[in-house]
Amino acid sequence: MTLDLEGRSLYQALYEIHAKGLTGRLHVYHWDGKEGIVGINGGQVVHCQYHTLRGEKAFNILKNWVSISLGFYENVENLSVDMEHNTESLLVSLEERDREIGRLRRSIPGPQAIFVLSPESPEEKIVFHQKIWKVLSLLNGRNTVKDICVALKANEFSVLRVLDFLLKRKVIRLAASEKTLPPSTRDHLFQELENHLAEFIGPIATVVIEDTLGEMGKSREFITRNDLPLLVERVSENVDDERERVQFQSRMLALIQKIPEEKEEA
């Protein structure tokens, strides 16, 4: 069974896998090549790993990733069991987190968003603790949300909460955001990318694209025009024949050049 997990959150993906009673591995990709794996047996979450971490410790890392892409591989054998909590309780906690992530995304457009101090005075006197000051110190009009997370070695969810706190109190404002492709443009572009790549490498084209997005720390939802050349270059590495690789890259370049920058939306 193939699952369409494009744009899904960790909660949404696990909920569907649990409801369908599937067995396999859910790969969770974050930026800078980070990857976690959730093992599911008959719809029950039995295993989780991230680097050397296993079980609940690994799962707690994954649930703090907001900008993710996902891939599910069914009927994988030899899943080790290291999760203490049952799947129902995990889903309850993830559902609450998912609602908050949805709220945060409405005010913070994505990991490439840039914030600066607001010229307005806050409506109330605010006492900042050290964690908030550390984030404030990095708001220089150049650092993105991702840059801040990396610099502080902080998880994405906690940084988004701090930024949302400051936004609500008018301490900061959105300065810029790398513009994402409109849904219609994005869907057409990815369909063409899959079709052209499949001509040269077959039906694994879709998996290659999703894996590459994960390695880039991107998802289709947040893809930008400037991301496309790198995406094409990386997926084209799977085309062994040099002549065919150049042919594929040329086709995709022609498609990218037809995307007007002024029609992108934040």
Q: Residue type for 42, please? A: G
Q: In Å, how far are 50, 51, 133 from 81, measured between CA atoms?
A: 14, 16, 41
Please list the residues that pair with 172 across neighbouring strands. 117
Q: In Å, how far are 121, 132, 170 from 125, measured between CA atoms?
A: 9, 15, 11
**Domain boundaries in the chain?**
10-105, 108-177, 183-259
Please list the residues that pair with 24 across neighbouring strands. 40, 74
Instruction: Give the tokens for residue 222.
Output: 């947040």
pLDDT tens for the chain, residues 1 to 266: 568 887 889 999 999 999 999 999 999 999 888 999 999 999 999 999 999 999 999 999 999 999 999 999 987 777 788 998 899 999 999 999 999 999 998 888 888 889 988 877 666 677 778 889 899 999 988 899 999 999 999 999 999 999 999 998 888 988 866 677 888 999 999 999 999 999 999 999 999 998 888 777 677 877 888 889 889 999 999 999 999 999 999 999 889 988 876 443 43
Q: Identify the CATH assignment for 108-177 out of 1.25.40, 1.10.1740, 1.10.10, 1.10.8.
A: 1.10.10
Residues 6+ apart with CB under 8 A from 245: 200, 236, 239
Q: How far apart are CA 243 and CA 233, in angstroms?
A: 14
